[in-house]
């Protein structure tokens, strides 16, 4: 499910690949809208399976399990 938040710059979505999502530097992940992102300078070891997340593309931030991660768009939508 994709739902825009009040700010308009962030939206709720989920990570579909990889499983589990670790949240570590260099990990490339795919959102359910088809966009591809890379985790930058983070080491979280989350072991999250299909987590619901908040993506803020304009800030290059991903919030998963209450943790804010630095990310970079690398392809897709």
DSSP string, 6-59: TTSS-EEEEEEESSSB--BTT-EEEETTS-EEEE-S-B----BSS-EEEEEGGG
Place of tokens 């768009």: 73
pLDDT at 2 over 50: no
Compute the mean pLDDT over every residue in the chain, rounded to the nearest whole number.
92
Domain ranges of the chain: 3-75
Q: Which is it for strands 67-75 and 61-64: parallel, antiparallel or unpaired?
A: antiparallel
Enumerate the β-bridge partners of residue 5: none
Q: Would the pTM of this model clear 0.75, i.e. be above it?
A: yes
pLDDT range class, residue 1, cuts 50, 70, 90: very low
pLDDT per position as a tens digit, 27-43:
999 999 999 999 999 99
């Amino acid at each position: 499910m994709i739902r825009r938040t009040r700010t308009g710059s962030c939206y709720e979505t989920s990570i579909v690949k990889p499983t589990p999502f670790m949240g570590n530097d260099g990990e490339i992940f795919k959102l359910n809208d088809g966009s591809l992102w890379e985790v930058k300078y983070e080491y979280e070891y989350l072991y999250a399976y299909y987590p619901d997340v908040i993506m803020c593309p304009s800030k290059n931030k991903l919030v998963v399990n209450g943790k804010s991660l630095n990310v970079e768009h690398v392809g897709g939508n």
